[in-house]
Homo-oligomer: A and B are copies of this chain.
Amino acid sequence: MTRFQELSREFSAYFNQKHFPDQPASLYDAASYMLEDGGKRVRPVLCLLGNELFEPIREDSWKIATALELFHNFTLIHDDIMDKAPLRRGKPTTHAKYNESTALLAGDVMLVKAYEYLNETDPIYSRALIRLFNETGREVCEGQQLDMDYEKKAFISLERYMQMIELKTAVLLAGSLQMGAIVAGAGETDQQHIYDFGKNLGLAFQVQDDWLDSFGNPSTFGKLKGGDILANKKTFLLLYALENGRAVEKKVILELMQSSEPEKVNRMIEIFLNSGVDLAAQMAKRAYMEKALSHLESISVPDQKKEPLRELSEYLLEREI
Contact = CB atoms under 8 A, between A and B. Distances in A.
A208 to B, nearest CB: 26
Contact of A78 (B105, B145, B149): B105
A101 B130 contact: no
A101 B123 contact: no
For the residues of A in contact with B, the DSSP-based class is: helix
A112 B133 CA distance: 9
B130 A112 contact: no
A191 to B, nearest CB: 18
Interface stretch (A39-47, A49-57, A136-144): A136-144
Contact of A142 (B27, B104, B126, B134): B27
A170 interface: no
Interface in A1-34: 23-24, 26-27
Nearest to A109: B141
A215 interface: no
A145 B81 contact: no
A26 B108 contact: no
Interface string A217-249: 000000000000000000000000000000000
A134 B115 contact: yes
Interface in A99-135: 100-102, 104-105, 107-109, 111-113, 115-116, 119, 123, 126-127, 130-131, 134
A112 B127 contact: no
A102 B78 CA distance: 11
B148 A101 contact: yes
Q: Which of A101, A126, A144, A145 has the most CB of B within 10 A?
A: A145
A25 to B, nearest CB: 10
Interface of A: 23-24, 26-27, 78, 81-82, 100-102, 104-105, 107-109, 111-113, 115-116, 119, 123, 126-127, 130-131, 134, 137-138, 141-142, 144-146, 148-149
13 contacts: A23-B142, A26-B148, A26-B149, A81-B101, A82-B105, A101-B148, A108-B111, A111-B111, A112-B137, A113-B134, A115-B130, A116-B131, A119-B134
